[in-house]
Structure 1
Amino acid sequence: MKKINVDFKSDILPHLLAIVFFLIITLIFFSPLLLEEKTLTQPDILQWEGGAKELLDYRAETGEEGLWTNSMFGGMPGYLVNTKFSGNLIVHVESLFTLFLPSPARIIFSAFLSFYILLIAFGVRPLLAVGGAIIFGLTSYNIIGLTAGHNYRIAAISYMPLVIAGVHLAFQKKYWWGFILTGLGLALHLNVNHVQITYYLLLMVLLYGLIHLIFAIKEKQLNTFAKTVGLLSVAAILGVGCNLGKMWTIAEYSQYSIRGKSELTKGNDSNQSQQGLAKDYAFQYSNGIMEPFVLFVPDFMGGSSVQELGKDSNLGRALKSNGVPPAQVSQQLKAVPTYWGNQPGTKPYYVGAIAVFLFVIGIFVVDKPLKIWLIICVLLGIVLSWGDSFSSFNYFIFDYLPGYNKLRSVTFTIIITIFSLTLLGFIGLEKLLKSGLNQKTQRYLLLSLGITGGITLLMVFYSWIGGFRGAIDAREPYSSYPIWFLDALRQDRASLLRNDALRSLFFIIGSVSLIYFYFKKKLSEIAFSALFILLITLDTGLVSSRFIGSENFNKNPKRAFFHESEADKLIRRDKTLSYRVFDLTDPFNNAQTSYFHKSLGGYHGAKIRRYQDLIEKCISEEINAWIGEVQKGGTDMENYGVLNMLNTKYFKAGNTANAVIQNPDNNGNAWLVSEVRKVNNPDEEIDALKEIDTKKVAVIDISQNELPTATMNGTGTVQLEEYQPNYLKYKADLSGDGLAVFSEIFYPAGWEATIDGEPVDILRANYVLRALPIKSGNHVIEFFFKPNSYYTGNKVMLVSNLILIIVILAGIGISLRRELM
């Protein structure tokens, strides 16, 4: 029996200790979640739960997946909200990888572990790799994202390192593990289903490949390059296959969503008539030119949009000296607009003074291919994050880089910079330490200190001479505040910059000192590494702790957020199978109503494009007109055809019972029309919709629908008999042939209809609804949602997942076999 040639102390123990350390840091940041059974209050997650409630309840009651939900925006595919794929076995691998930690703690742990594996793949020793992993996991970018509830975005980021590690290993001719890590990393990453972060990852991988292609041509290694690309392509196909159902359904939906092309040509700007988002929407959040300095000095721009200041701050003293009552001073100081940039809302994405210092070292010492790739990525992330602050470049990219115009919040591109900057820094540190102290390394060390330390000193100098006037100063209510208030506020902004610049200088000097003492053999490798990790944890962790604390955790935030109001209770007494509610308070940016009712509004970043058109062209106009009438004492809804055709039975003007307004004029679930108005295009269709009585007339675009030649003016009833998210059953009783309009959103990719068991084509009527020609007599009408993208994609996922798991197990087995003596 041969024994395995593995030394526990050198080959296993460092990695186990790293995992334990990552667990400890995770426990520190998420102790209320892990030890006190509290939940992190995440606004976006709460909104998600509101929109997903119907689907979650349906799964709990039936064990089946609700692929469609009527809880938001009149109806939309459920896989945009919450759908499980039975073929998705990779979720079990993910649970094992994250040691079964609860979310969102598991996300930070996976970021630690993934980046640790990445640094090991790039040849960084384990003790240093721990430091790099802490920076990447604890960057305030991640913590801020999680506190906002952007779990999917941060989870997708946490698996980026595994993919890059696999690609790099493959190009280092470590083909087996390169294949496994690429396939596994991509499968885990795509499983999170965040297209925007996947796009950024693809940019980084393509740039990596391009740099290596250039060097392969130069060194005449094209055959090796092609072999590596071929291997990685197979791994990528496997990773995609593990998530095909998710990707297919989203890709299919995107052409019908606001990410796709609008069919309207009148009244839309040129951007919206093209494929993708409008520029003003995509670039709403854009960094100012100087704003990326927050990566180095967190309060360079004053910190968050609003944050708390102490009573000893300049503003606190100014308020007190100007006779403001103490209670009012305390209240005023809780939310001070210290941020002086142009974004409507922000918090600083800090990577760390130490990380930036090491990045500068990396520029000097890392080999060309890696250095060029990572520097380009760092600069690309910054430039893209500028958005319309650098419109000459970013508008060109938006218009011509394939797929980029479907993404918004371009400040998120700074994760490319954070990733690349940290990676280059630790590759550089490893190379510097291996080189030892010599004239060249000493010069590089001093140059890096001079550059980064010099920048912090320039910032300190600027804090004494800068104006610190923010865009918010010119807005109400601050524009009407006295001069002494704004002067004190600007002094505090300067103080925040000065203090954080000096803070960064401290950590830079601390890093240089540790490296110098290590070179001088005053510190052992273990002592140096331990102190360096401690310094890194303090640098990054203390800034991130500004954005997460015990106040962010609560026993049951869902209970408070989804408190059933008297208005909700009153509406829920109505046991009618299906009707809709319109919340007048914040209809299209809040899913609280969706938690209890089928809603015309909701909270989602990818509404159906035609429904968004309807909101802008019809619903908003009708609501504004009706509110005007209500304010004058009238409540008649008879003339508001769009709201009525959407089966709007109740309006909520608040949370009290008397804030509920019932609409007796709604059209119901289905109705027969006596007239069909034919139009030639979507513009005519939505214009006609504003003019007709939707109870009597249906508008149909004949360019996209084939109408039967028979006259359809029969009378009778069409009643909803059974409702499920994926299934609707109606009974019809007609005297004469007729056209029934159903208050259900038309979606061509999956909905099927039968009349008495015979398949029939679904027409689109009134711009967003379904319609069916029905023969005279009694009939059973059924709608089924059976998207092929889900069912076929799920089968491919199962096969791909099984193959990937077999490959991983085979890889482990082969590695162990090779270690046998």
Structure 2
Amino acid sequence: MRSINFKEQVLPHVVAIVLFLLVTIIYFKPVFFDHKSLNQHDILQSIGASKEIADYRERTGDEALWTNSMFSGMPAYLISVKWGNEIIGTVQAVFSLGLPHPVRLVFLSFVAFYILLLAFGVRPYLAIAGALAFGLSSYNIVGLTAGHNSRIGAVAFMPLLLAGIRLGFKGKNLLGFSVTALAVALELRVNHLQITYYLLLMAAAYGISELVVAIKEKQLAPFIKRSSLLVGAGVLGLATFIGSFLSTMEYTKYSMRGKSEITMGTPEEKANGLTKEYAFRYSNGIFEPMTLFMPNILGGSSQQKLSMDSETAQFMLKNGVPRPQVEQQMQAMPTYWGEQPLTAPYYAGAIIVFLFALGIVALPARKSVWLIAMAALGIILSWGYHFSSFNYFMFDYFPGYNKFRSVTFAIIIPILAMNLLGFIGLEKILKQEWNAGTRKQLLIAIGSTGGIALLLWLFAGAFSYHGAIDERLPEWLQAPLSADRKALFKASAMAAFVLTGLSFAGIWLTLTKRIKPGLLYPAIAILMLVDLWTTDKKLLNDDNFAKNPTRSFFQKTDADQEILNDKDPDFRVFNLVDPWNEARTSYYHHSLGGYHGAKIRRYQDLIDKGLVPEQQKIIDKLRQGSVDFSEMGVINMLNTRYLVAGASKDAVIKNSFANGNAWFVSDIKSVNNPDEELDATVKVNTKITAVIDASKFDTKDLATDDYGTIKLTQYEPNHLVYTSENGSSALAVFSEIYYKDGWKATIDGKEAPILRADYVLRALQIPEGSHTIEFTFKPSVYQWANPVMTASSWLILLLLLGTILMELGFIKLKSETKESESDAQ
């Protein structure tokens, strides 16, 4: 074992981990001291969506892989599946020191970015400051508030992958390989492919940058060797995710991310993937990336707290509004005046922007251009339809890009790039001698950041402070609210000016040897910590925590109990109140609705053309006192036995016209394409007629006979058993969603072809007589991919342990290539 200098080689890292742990615990203190949890909307919906899957897993120890609790049935791949890479989850838990989910993600962000800065040669105590800045960027905090845990998890591991690549390019082959493989495995396991896509763009940019340098320095052979090792590490990491990846790619073809089969309508409606309107709905305005520098420059969040001293509060008090009412309204005021329908500021930190400017001027182009380019690209991508010439090109022609929505998420690219370049630049300038060149670099950096902040403060009156939301506000409110928006603008600009000025002064005093570097490190860290903490606490504070929010959200209502009294194993419930944006119903029942951004595309078509119109007709009928739903062919074919319009027992309406679990039809309507198929489905009596696309399924030999009976006798989400009795061969339709890959049907143990009827349902031709019919969902990818994922996960773990032992000197290998350049790029 090699000798270790504790003070230089161990103590800084111990200090880092302790600080990261303390900051995490103090920020999320309700979790640790009050036994509370984050009240996250999307996570609560996810719990509802995955309840049937979780119950099956607990009861059987197996994976269901399919659920009927949401959108009448869909694969579980993007809801909840445990694959053979659980050991990677254990590694994540160890690295996060057992901190609870999801607050551990902030801690992991600290650790991963700290490792990245060390890999780029930044001294540990500066790296601590940089890690705190990255982890506490409001991007992470806003994401946790919304319940976007997988997105923030993917963000947390972005720096780790870049660190592995950096180590590989430095010639630390084994360490670079191990860190890269682990980072890929961790990144993919959290399963947010949009963030991973952005990370791949950054990795590619860094690789291209290194390639250019290798060509210029005639070092192409070492570059190819190191790149090949890194690609191999990436493949090993991907192997831990291969089942999830392939199943997601398979499902994408049939989901809203895939190509529509509908040919009618506009080109947008026929898009391959998401429509532009849907994908770019949340696009940053051109001015909006300025929130990276000044969080309240556009008013802050869509709903933000104002003080009782604000113009709006004082105006309301002066006009006789009771003080308690004013206090309540000031808790959530529409101060945001940008162009998005709903938002919160993505704040990187004024000091980070200043350091980024410093890095641009302090570092040579070969070391900074890729980060500058990526910062610019991330901003352009976040502009969405506001920069349509570029972003529509990306959407139409860049592989995979049209599968993602909410392009504002791309702002994580400049946040990461600015933090990294900023601290590499600070490390570089602290090593320079104090001279005219260094002074010029500092002055350019402060002039381009603090100077802009001061100008914006001086010319704050040049802006209107009116936004799109103002059209929905009473006219009397607009003037005082605009005054408050202006005050927020000025305060944000002045704060940026002060923060950049203090940072500038600290660096200046350090370089001129008026203070020691040991004072600068904590000063910078404290300044950034206070700044980001103050902003973050407006977005996620103690009010966002509750004791057992899951229990209260899913408290069983009288309506739930009334439906649960029905012991039939399988029927559906239609919640008439916002059914397409809630999964609470799915917690207890098989729901027609749900909450998911990638539902089956054909089902979305059915929602648009069938279920939404029928929903309105049902509401109209209920207002008229009628419960005759016999003409509602779509809800009836989905076996909708109960309609729900509230939480009380009286809000449950039984639908006696539901078609049942399965039925024989007396007529087949053959159509020629999906357009005709959907159009016919929403018009026919689905109890009598089955609509089948003759261009996809042979209908010539299909027979009908509606005198038979068919009954569901056994239900599991992935296995259904029926018994049938019919006097002649006949077509049976099942109220289960058709999905081509994975479902197998047998009649008396003999496999039978599954047909698609009524646009989304399954159908079988049943021979005459008595039969047992089974549907089983066993996708092949799950069967063969799980062992691969398990083996590759263990291989990465063993490789990581071996690398650690080697780095500590317990294992000696041939010396790796020495780095020929300074660590501080």
**Interval containing the TM-score (normalised by the shorter chain):** over 0.9
CA 1:329–1:692 in structure 2 vs 1: closer, same or farther (change >3 Å)?
A: same
Secondary structure of the residue aligned to 1:444 is helix
Secondary structure of the residue aligned to 2:459 is helix
- Structure 1 window deviating more from structure 2 (793-802 vs 68-77): it is 793-802
Shift in Å at residue 690 of structure 1?
2.1
Secondary structure of the residue aligned to 1:677 is strand
- One-letter amino acid of the structure 2 residue matched with residue 84 of structure 1: K
Secondary structure of the residue aligned to 2:701 is coil
Question: Is the Cα–Cα contact under 8 Å of residues 109 and 137 in structure 1 kept in the other structure?
Answer: yes
- 1:694-773 counterparts in 2 under 5 A? 694-707=686-699, 709=701, 711-713=703-705, 715-773=707-765
Pick aligned residue for 2:464 from 459, 464, 467: 467
Cα distance between partner residues in 1 of 2:621 and 2:649 = 21
Pick aligned residue for 1:419 from 416, 438, 441: 416
- One-letter amino acid of the structure 2 residue matched with residue 186 of structure 1: V
Shift in Å at residue 458 of structure 1?
1.3
Question: Is the Cα–Cα contact under 8 Å of residues 264 and 270 in structure 2 kept in the other structure?
Answer: no
Matching of residue 366 in structure 1 with residue 358 in structure 2: no
Cα distance between partner residues in 2 of 1:436 and 1:536 = 26
Matching of residue 53 in structure 1 with residue 51 in structure 2: yes
Shift in Å at residue 470 of structure 1?
1.1
Pick aligned residue for 1:317 from 314, 319, 322: 314
- One-letter amino acid of the structure 2 residue matched with residue 345 of structure 1: L
Which residue of structure 2 aligns with residue 341 of structure 1? 338
- One-letter amino acid of the structure 2 residue matched with residue 272 of structure 1: E
Deviations 1:228-262 (A, max 9, x none): 22111110100100111111111111110000001
Matching of residue 117 in structure 1 with residue 115 in structure 2: yes
Which residue of structure 2 aligns with residue 64 of structure 1? 62
- One-letter amino acid of the structure 2 residue matched with residue 389 of structure 1: H
Secondary structure of the residue aligned to 1:389 is helix
Secondary structure of the residue aligned to 2:339 is coil
- 1:770-809 counterparts in 2 under 5 A? 770-809=762-801
Shift in Å at residue 332 of structure 1?
2.9
Pick aligned residue for 1:431 from 428, 431, 439: 428
Secondary structure of the residue aligned to 1:699 is strand
Pick aligned residue for 2:302 from 290, 301, 305: 305
Deviations 1:516-551 (A, max 9, x none): 232233433332212221112112222111111111
Question: Is the Cα–Cα contact under 8 Å of residues 248 and 790 in structure 1 kept in the other structure?
Answer: no
Cα distance between partner residues in 1 of 2:807 and 2:463 = 60
Pick aligned residue for 1:248 from 246, 249, 265: 246
- TM-score, normalised relative to structure 2: 0.97
Shift in Å at residue 696 of structure 1?
1.2
Secondary structure of the residue aligned to 1:255 is helix
Deviations 1:766-793 (A, max 9, x none): 1100011111111111111101122212
Shift in Å at residue 92 of structure 1?
1.1
Question: Is the Cα–Cα contact under 8 Å of residues 567 and 658 in structure 1 kept in the other structure?
Answer: yes
Shift in Å at residue 759 of structure 1?
1.2
- One-letter amino acid of the structure 1 residue matched with residue 194 of structure 2: Q
Cα distance between partner residues in 2 of 1:138 and 1:580 = 44
Question: Is the Cα–Cα contact under 8 Å of residues 664 and 704 in structure 2 kept in the other structure?
Answer: no
Which residue of structure 1 aligns with residue 523 of structure 2? 531
Cα distance between partner residues in 2 of 1:386 and 1:234 = 35
Shift in Å at residue 708 of structure 1?
6.4
Cα distance between partner residues in 1 of 2:460 and 2:558 = 53
Which residue of structure 1 aligns with residue 821 of structure 2? none
Cα distance between partner residues in 2 of 1:320 and 1:83 = 54
Which residue of structure 1 aligns with residue 234 of structure 2? 236
Secondary structure of the residue aligned to 2:585 is helix
Deviations 1:737-792 (A, max 9, x none): 11111100001111111111111111111110001111111111111110112221
Question: Is the Cα–Cα contact under 8 Å of residues 714 and 736 in structure 1 kept in the other structure?
Answer: no
Shift in Å at residue 87 of structure 1?
4.2
Secondary structure of the residue aligned to 1:715 is coil
Cα distance between partner residues in 1 of 2:395 and 2:616 = 34
Which residue of structure 2 aligns with residue 486 of structure 1? 478
Q: Indicate the RMSD between aligned Cα atoms, in angstroms.
A: 1.5
Pick aligned residue for 2:440 from 440, 443, 449: 443
Question: Is the Cα–Cα contact under 8 Å of residues 715 and 738 in structure 1 kept in the other structure?
Answer: no
- 1:631-710 counterparts in 2 under 5 A? 631-707=623-699, 709=701
Matching of residue 814 in structure 1 with residue 812 in structure 2: no
Cα distance between partner residues in 1 of 2:322 and 2:91 = 58
CA 1:396–1:327 in structure 2 vs 1: closer, same or farther (change >3 Å)?
A: same
Question: Is the Cα–Cα contact under 8 Å of residues 670 and 699 in structure 2 kept in the other structure?
Answer: no
Shift in Å at residue 273 of structure 1?
1.5
Which residue of structure 2 aligns with residue 77 of structure 1? 75
For structure 1, list consecutive stretches of 5 or more residues without a partner in the other structure.
Answer: none
Cα distance between partner residues in 2 of 1:706 and 1:800 = 44
- One-letter amino acid of the structure 2 residue matched with residue 239 of structure 1: G
Which residue of structure 1 aligns with residue 125 of structure 2? 127
- 1:224-623 counterparts in 2 under 5 A? 224-267=222-265, 269-474=266-471, 476=472, 478=473, 480-482=474-476, 485-623=477-615
Pick aligned residue for 1:9 from 2, 7, 10: 7
Question: Is the Cα–Cα contact under 8 Å of residues 258 and 607 in structure 1 kept in the other structure?
Answer: yes
Shift in Å at residue 674 of structure 1?
1.3
Shift in Å at residue 820 of structure 1?
7.4
- Structure 1 window deviating more from structure 2 (54-63 vs 639-648): it is 54-63
- One-letter amino acid of the structure 1 residue matched with residue 4 of structure 2: V
Shift in Å at residue 625 of structure 1?
2.0
Shift in Å at residue 213 of structure 1?
2.2
Cα distance between partner residues in 1 of 2:801 and 2:466 = 59
- Structure 1 window deviating more from structure 2 (719-728 vs 60-69): it is 60-69
Cα distance between partner residues in 1 of 2:627 and 2:15 = 69
Cα distance between partner residues in 2 of 1:274 and 1:285 = 19
Question: Is the Cα–Cα contact under 8 Å of residues 670 and 691 in structure 2 kept in the other structure?
Answer: yes
Cα distance between partner residues in 2 of 1:83 and 1:26 = 29
- One-letter amino acid of the structure 2 residue matched with residue 638 of structure 1: S
- One-letter amino acid of the structure 2 residue matched with residue 631 of structure 1: R
- One-letter amino acid of the structure 2 residue matched with residue 246 of structure 1: S
Question: Is the Cα–Cα contact under 8 Å of residues 674 and 712 in structure 1 kept in the other structure?
Answer: yes
Question: Is the Cα–Cα contact under 8 Å of residues 5 and 820 in structure 1 kept in the other structure?
Answer: no
Shift in Å at residue 818 of structure 1?
7.5
Cα distance between partner residues in 2 of 1:740 and 1:770 = 9
Question: Is the Cα–Cα contact under 8 Å of residues 87 and 795 in structure 1 kept in the other structure?
Answer: no
Cα distance between partner residues in 2 of 1:732 and 1:48 = 36
Question: Is the Cα–Cα contact under 8 Å of residues 703 and 765 in structure 2 kept in the other structure?
Answer: no
Which residue of structure 2 aligns with residue 159 of structure 1? 157
Shift in Å at residue 461 of structure 1?
1.7
- Structure 1 window deviating more from structure 2 (109-118 vs 399-408): it is 399-408
Shift in Å at residue 601 of structure 1?
0.2
Cα distance between partner residues in 2 of 1:711 and 1:19 = 71
Cα distance between partner residues in 2 of 1:354 and 1:508 = 5
- Structure 1 window deviating more from structure 2 (370-379 vs 457-466): it is 457-466
Shift in Å at residue 445 of structure 1?
1.2
Between the two proteins, the alignment pairs up a number of residues equal to 813
- Structure 1 window deviating more from structure 2 (520-529 vs 690-699): it is 520-529
Shift in Å at residue 222 of structure 1?
2.3
- One-letter amino acid of the structure 2 residue matched with residue 425 of structure 1: G
Cα distance between partner residues in 2 of 1:438 and 1:819 = 46
Shift in Å at residue 810 of structure 1?
2.1
Pick aligned residue for 2:138 from 124, 137, 140: 140
Question: Is the Cα–Cα contact under 8 Å of residues 710 and 725 in structure 2 kept in the other structure?
Answer: yes
CA 1:387–1:350 in structure 2 vs 1: closer, same or farther (change >3 Å)?
A: same
